[in-house]
Amino acid sequence: MYKRIAFTVNGKAYDFEVDVRESLLDVLRSHLGFTGAKQGCGVGECGACSVLIDGVPTDTCIYLAVWADGKEIRTIEGVAEKNGELSEVQKAFVDEGAVQCGFCTPGLVLTTTALKESGKDYTREELKRELSGHLCRCTGYQNILKAAEKSLEGHVCTCVDSPHYKGE
Amino acid sequence: MAYTVVGKSVRRVDAVAKVTGKAKYTDDFAERNMLVGKILHSPYAHALVKSIDVSKAKALPGVEAVLTYKDLPDIRYATAIPGIIEAIATDDVTVAELKYGTAGHPYSLEESHRDKEDRNILTQKARFVGDNIAAVVATDELTASKALKLIEVEYELLEVLTSTDAALKEGAPLIHDDCEGNILSAKGYEIGNLEEALQESDHVIEGEYETSIVQHCHLENQVSHAYVDSDRRIVIMTSTQIPHIVRRIVAQSLGISWGRVRVIKPYIGGGFGNKQDVCIEPLNAAMSLAVGGRPVRLELSREESMIDTRTRHAFKFKIRTGINNDGKINGIHISAVSNTGAYASHGHSIASSGGGKFRYLYPTKALKYDPITVYTNLPVAGAMRGYGTPQIFFAFESHIEDIAKQLNLDPIEIRKKNVVKEGHVDPLSKNTIRSCSIRECIDKGRELIKWDAKKALYKDQTGDIRRGLGMACFSYASGTYPVALELAGARIVMNQDGSVQLQLGATEIGQGSDTVFAQMVAEVLGIPMYMVHVISTQDTDITPFDTGSYASRQTYVSGMAVEKAALEVKTKVLAFASSMTDVPAHLLDLKEQAVVFKDSGEKVLGLEVVAMQSYYDRVNAQPITSDVSNNARINAIPFGVTFAEVEVDMKTGKIKILEIYNVHDSGKIVNPLLAEGQVHGGVSMAIGYALSEQLLFDEKTGKPLNNNLLDYKLPTIMDTPDIGAAFVEKEDPTGPFGVKSLGEPPIVSPAPAIRNAVLDATEVAFNRIPMNPQRVFEKFKEKGLI
């Protein structure tokens, strides 16, 4: 069975028919080409498929595409500025060494972005709790937490302008 | 030595691609309307397929092919595109008869040194719950799943052997017909005269230790795409650590010549050794062959990945140590039984390898190691970060702690008294310890955790909440020399503007190797990082030969090839500049994108001027490139230590890590930020190993009980304490820029350090990990503490 739905992804409107059984993850990846959202478990355990739906971090592998009708979706492809400049959260992840294999990174950047945009203050423990829906096997979460803390402090980038990359 | 780029925490070369979602992983390359492959797994741990009926599955609309062990030979002769697949096949060997080894080791020209060939692509005999009985190729995932349910299999059930004890019992059924006693291998060693050494010791102390089965849990499951191209070659894109080895093993599994396979490796979502094995690619290739070479996607679910790829071997150890009153160890005897599961994979080499890397830490007059590796009806154990060392070091570093306690010796002093010194030559591998800072590492860790002050503070605790301190040491290796070939390749092409492309056979799997290789090139050529373009994708048609990412070999072994390639480019640049200026090349150097006078630093020519001339000089044009291989017939031994402080709730058995530090002697650190990241990840994985992770099986049926990320207790951010990473940097004379390995070492020593801290806090010795709440509770109850 197919159903017609409409939503926006990163500000762009889409209006099309989906198989009612399809997850939002499948639709984003296979039909619309937003491959930044990753499948790590398919059952909502790991957080790699997270996107922001009306600003809320959501596991898209267990979120039916039809539920997204009328919603605003933001994927990792929509986080940087249009001219390619990284967002402050992205810069913090780069500078703090929070990226290794990169498979969990899009989800974590998006959740951190939602926290930053909420304008709320978080203690370290609260921040950990907010990020605990994302599994990472590479980093031991150390630099991810640092990057998230830095993002929420109004992070100022240093490394991208370091002498090793000057002139880029 | 003073370096410009090496030793600096420059940004990862792939960081921007990864934070923007632009980094593409295997499944991000999926084509529209690609066929989908799925596997029928055995529900029984040990059973023979008596009959298999696929007619209903085949009749389902949307099903393109159904494969069983019986169909595999037909793939090549019947169902394929006429004239194409036949040409791939060699003579009269049928695929069903072909057995192959899956371990990601370099091939050996000596037959006796090759991996055990005990696997078929699809099997008639199920050897574990999850074994591959049949496979379906369909137009979509739902159809493929439905088709699996329509395959009718009649099994004859055989006795299930889940423990090594059961598998070793006299008269136990054979899991592999050609393997007597279910013993895959028993390769140990003896140095000196053990019995003599034990006899002349003041004490002989014994202990028994045990580790459990754990899993890698890389975030990206195994996934690959396969098709046959117009040149009649099988092309496989896959999430692997070892593209060149995958190419060989796929060819072997299908009985075709190796040049008929092309393997492409894009970014991968973690591996930790599980992708140093060939799990799905042969079947994926067979699936494509079965549908005339059309593209087929094969992706394992998390539940499949946790049982049908590889796990870490569970070991049981018995140790006897002869020691004098002053703490000097005379002799050690370690017996080990390793549970390798249903197929060999790396099993035959892991027990030996762990024992080999252990040997470097405490050289003694006599050392005997007796490992046996046993087949059972559990999922296949294979390579996982540390490759046998987390097991043996958990055992011995727990044991030495027990000895210290028993003899009332200081746990730090007993280790310091026995650890190796520079200049030691290992009697078996003949590897020489050319740099060793283990003592400095111990001193640094002791200081970081404030050992002495806290030890005094935590004396004679009696309350419900008790604290303790523990430590443990390790030794490792940088690559596999002299056991296996250590060949690496690198290629550099200089562009007209003086920037370069760096191509490697070595694989980036998240550890940051692309970045450190770029740093090495930037250092040698005197150019900034942004002028080094690393080609991160490996394609066996294009990239230089290198066996891949494993054994913590790449920064050391592949780094040698990178340095060599960069030095060759430098030599050519200086020669070209000399031809342009008549200044002798030996007076020149490269610095800050320019050819300069070596002594004064005065600029002679801009690098871009030389590079441009090398392309377009009407007489002498010859673009500057290098393409080198390096066969590293040498090894460097890294060392390190973990210090841990724990708090134990005596009423509930909950163990909390308050502080933990890993201090590493890995030679020169090329990129401190990335190096710390390796330590964080390794320690975190080890905390899971010590406290929470265990893949559980029903003992009678071999059925997995927790093969998902909810029930398998992988540490979350909430479970992970602050992890301290520190280095004692002393350049090793053999490594490029003085490096030694770092990828795997961080996982080796935290588990015993945590165990020793718990012992210090509670007086209870846990000789089996994980120390999860259930086990701690039971043990406290047994000891009458609860």
Identify whether A166 is part of a domain: no
- Measured distance CA(B364)–CA(B603) in Å, rounded: 56
**Domain boundary, last residue among B599, B631, B663:** B631
Amino acid B730: pLDDT: 97
* Whether residue B378 is found in the same domain as residue B436: no
- Measured distance CA(B164)–CA(B187) in Å, rounded: 17
**Looking at chain B from residue 692 to 711, which residues have their Cβ under 8 Å from any Cβ of chain A?**
708-710
Amino acid B69: pLDDT: 84
| Interval B98-109: pLDDT, tens | 788 899 999 999
B371's tokens: 């490992």
Specify burial of residue B539 (Cβ count, 10 A radius: 0-12, 13-18, 19+): middle
**Domain boundary, last residue among B631, B663, B698:** B631
Identify whether B608 is part of a domain: yes
Residue with tokens 């549908």: B291
In this structure, what CATH number is given to the domain that contains residue A145?
A: 1.10.150.120
* Whether residue B60 is found in the same domain as residue B90: yes
CA nearest to B522, candidates A158, A96, A165, A98:
A165
Residues of A in contact with B715 (CB under 8 A): 140
> Lowest-pLDDT range, B61-70, B357-366, B521-530, B577-586?
B61-70
CA nearest to B393, candidates B656, B758, B754:
B754
| Interval B410-427: pLDDT, tens | 999 999 999 999 999 999
**Looking at chain B from residue 494 to 533, which residues have their Cβ under 8 Å from any Cβ of chain A?**
509-512, 522, 528-530
Report the relative pairing of strands B655-665 and B639-649 from DSSP bridges: antiparallel
Cα separations in angstroms, A155 against A80, A83, A146, A148, A149: 15, 20, 11, 9, 9
Structure pTM? 0.96
Report the relative pairing of strands B625-631 and B329-341 from DSSP bridges: unpaired
pLDDT tier for residue B75 given thresholds of 50, 70 and 90? very low
Residue with tokens 């080999």: B356
* Whether residue A56 is found in the same domain as residue A109: no
Q: What percent of chain B has pLDDT over 90?
A: 92
Identify whether A162 is part of a domain: no
* Whether residue A66 is found in the same domain as residue A101: no
Question: Cβ of A54 under 8 Å from any chain B Cβ?
Answer: no
Check CB contact under 8 Å for A159 and B716. no
Question: Cβ of B304 under 8 Å from any chain A Cβ?
Answer: no
Identify whether A53 is part of a domain: yes
Of A42, A80, A159, the CB nearest to B11: A159
pLDDT tier for residue B97 given thresholds of 50, 70 and 90? low
Residues 6+ apart with CB under 8 A from B190: B366, B367, B368, B369
- Percentage helix, strand, coil for chain A under 3-state DSSP, each rounded to 5: 40, 15, 45
Render A10-56 in DSSP notation, one character per residue. Answer: TTEEEEEEEETT-BHHHIIIIIS--TTS--SSSSSSS-TTEEEETTE
Amino acid B171: pLDDT: 96
* Whether residue A73 is found in the same domain as residue A95: no
Please give the torsion angle defined by the CA atoms of residues A75, A80, A81 and A82, in that order, rounded to the nearest 10 degrees. Answer: -60
- Measured distance CA(B530)–CA(A161) in Å, rounded: 12
Beta strands in chain A (DSSP E): 2-9, 12-19, 50-53, 56-59, 72-74
B345's tokens: 């994979």
The mean pLDDT of B604-619, rounded to a whole number, is: 98
Identify whether B699 is part of a domain: yes
Amino acid B336: pLDDT: 98
| Interval B548-570: pLDDT, tens | 999 999 999 999 999 999 999 99
pLDDT tier for residue B232 given thresholds of 50, 70 and 90? confident
Cα separations in angstroms, B80 against B65, B286, B426: 11, 10, 54
The answer to whether the beta carbons of residues B610 and B580 sit under 8 Å apart is: yes
Amino acid B231: pLDDT: 85
* Whether residue B659 is found in the same domain as residue B617: no
The mean pLDDT of B680-695, rounded to a whole number, is: 98
Render B110-166 in DSSP notation, one character per residue. Answer: SGGGSPP--B-SS-SEE-STT-EEEEEEESSHHHHHHHHHH-EEEEEE-----SHHH
3-state helix/strand/coil string of B424-442: CECCCCCCECCCCCHHHHH
* Whether residue A55 is found in the same domain as residue A103: no
* Whether residue B654 is found in the same domain as residue B758: yes
* Whether residue B267 is found in the same domain as residue B236: yes
B466's tokens: 């008790």
* Whether residue A9 is found in the same domain as residue A71: yes
Which of A141, A144, A159 to mutate against chain B (most B CBs within 10 Å)? A141
| Interval B265-300: pLDDT, tens | 999 999 999 999 999 999 999 999 889 899 999 999
Identify whether A65 is part of a domain: yes
Q: Could you give the number of structural domains in chain A?
A: 2
The mean pLDDT of B139-160, rounded to a whole number, is: 98
Residues 6+ apart with CB under 8 A from B369: B188, B189, B190, B334, B336, B355, B358, B359
**ipTM for the complex shown:** 0.96
- Measured distance CA(B399)–CA(B713) in Å, rounded: 27
In this structure, what CATH number is given to the domain that contains residue B561?
A: 3.30.365.10
Q: Is the dihedral of CA B678, B680, B683, B684 positive or negative?
A: negative
Distance of CA B575 to the CA centre of its chain: 41
The answer to whether the beta carbons of residues B382 and B348 sit under 8 Å apart is: no
Residues of B in contact with A51 (CB under 8 A): none
Check CB contact under 8 Å for A101 and B272. no
**Domain boundary, last residue among A78, A110, A127:** A78
Report the relative pairing of strands B234-238 and B261-265 from DSSP bridges: parallel
The mean pLDDT of B650-669, rounded to a whole number, is: 97
Residue B81's SS3 state is coil
- Measured distance CA(B4)–CA(A164) in Å, rounded: 9
The three-point CA angle B178-B380-B121 to 5° equals 70
pLDDT tier for residue B256 given thresholds of 50, 70 and 90? confident
Q: What percent of chain B has pLDDT over 70?
A: 97
Phi, psi of B207 (to 5 degrees): -160, 155
The mean pLDDT of B386-393, rounded to a whole number, is: 98
B90 pLDDT exceeds 70? Answer: no
**Segment (H or E) for B551:** none
Closest-CA distance, A168 to chain B, in angstroms, reads 6
* Whether residue A15 is found in the same domain as residue A63: yes
**Looking at chain A from residue 74 to 133, which residues have their Cβ under 8 Å from any Cβ of chain B?**
75-77, 79-80, 86, 90, 93-95, 97, 99-106, 109, 128-129, 131-132
- Residues in chain A, pLDDT under 50: 155-162, 168
* Whether residue A65 is found in the same domain as residue A110: no
* Whether residue A73 is found in the same domain as residue A93: no
Check CB contact under 8 Å for A40 and B16. no
Amino acid A166: pLDDT: 52
CA nearest to B125, candidates B103, B145, B96:
B96
Residues 6+ apart with CB under 8 A from B35: B64, B137, B138, B139, B287, B291, B294, B295, B296, B297
Q: Supply the mean pLDDT for chain B.
A: 95
The answer to whether the beta carbons of residues B150 and B56 sit under 8 Å apart is: yes
B637 pLDDT exceeds 80? Answer: yes
| Interval B4-59: pLDDT, tens | 999 999 999 999 999 999 999 999 999 888 999 999 999 999 999 999 999 999 99
Amino acid A164: pLDDT: 52
What is the Rg, in whole angstroms, of the alpha carbon atoms belonging to chain A?
A: 16
B714 pLDDT exceeds 70? Answer: yes
* Whether residue A33 is found in the same domain as residue A94: no
**Segment (H or E) for B564:** helix B559-581
Question: Cβ of B604 under 8 Å from any chain A Cβ?
Answer: no
Check CB contact under 8 Å for B681 and A129. no
B705's tokens: 């009980």
Residues of A in contact with B690 (CB under 8 A): none
Phi, psi of A59 (to 5 degrees): -75, 110
The chain A residue lying nearest B13, using CA atoms, is A94
B521's tokens: 């090139």
The answer to whether the beta carbons of residues B255 and B116 sit under 8 Å apart is: no
* Whether residue A23 is found in the same domain as residue A45: yes
The mean pLDDT of B733-746, rounded to a whole number, is: 98
Amino acid B254: pLDDT: 85
pLDDT tier for residue B391 given thresholds of 50, 70 and 90? very high
**Domain boundary, last residue among A29, A59, A78:** A78
Residues of A in contact with B680 (CB under 8 A): 139-143
Phi, psi of B414 (to 5 degrees): -65, -35
In this structure, what CATH number is given to the domain that contains residue A59?
A: 3.10.20.30
**Domain boundary, last residue among A47, A78, A109:** A78
| Interval B340-380: pLDDT, tens | 999 999 999 999 999 999 999 999 999 999 999 999 999 99
- Measured distance CA(A86)–CA(A97) in Å, rounded: 15
Cα separations in angstroms, B59 against A154, B35, B54, B136, B143: 61, 17, 9, 12, 11
**Domain boundary, last residue among B631, B657, B687:** B631
Identify whether B400 is part of a domain: no
Distance of CA B498 to the CA centre of its chain: 36
Of A101, A135, A165, the CB nearest to B268: A101
Q: Could you give the number of structural domains in chain B?
A: 3
B436's tokens: 């060793």
**Looking at chain B from residue 205 to 234, which residues have their Cβ under 8 Å from any Cβ of chain A?**
216-221
Identify whether A167 is part of a domain: no
* Whether residue A67 is found in the same domain as residue A93: no
Residues of B in contact with A38 (CB under 8 A): 25, 219-220, 269
Amino acid A154: pLDDT: 57
Amino acid B85: pLDDT: 41
Domain that holds residue A18: 2-78
Residues 6+ apart with CB under 8 A from B618: none
* Whether residue A110 is found in the same domain as residue A142: yes
B149's tokens: 């349910």
The three-point CA angle B693-A60-A38 to 5° equals 65
Residues of A in contact with B8 (CB under 8 A): 164
* Whether residue B542 is found in the same domain as residue B435: no
The mean pLDDT of B190-219, rounded to a whole number, is: 98
Question: Cβ of B118 under 8 Å from any chain A Cβ?
Answer: no
Residues 6+ apart with CB under 8 A from B335: B317, B318, B319, B370, B371
Check CB contact under 8 Å for B270 and A103. yes
The mean pLDDT of B137-144, rounded to a whole number, is: 97
Identify whether B148 is part of a domain: yes
Domain that holds residue B466: 407-477+635-782
Task: Count CA atoms within 13 Å of residue B709 on its CB side.
Answer: 25
B81 pLDDT exceeds 60? Answer: no
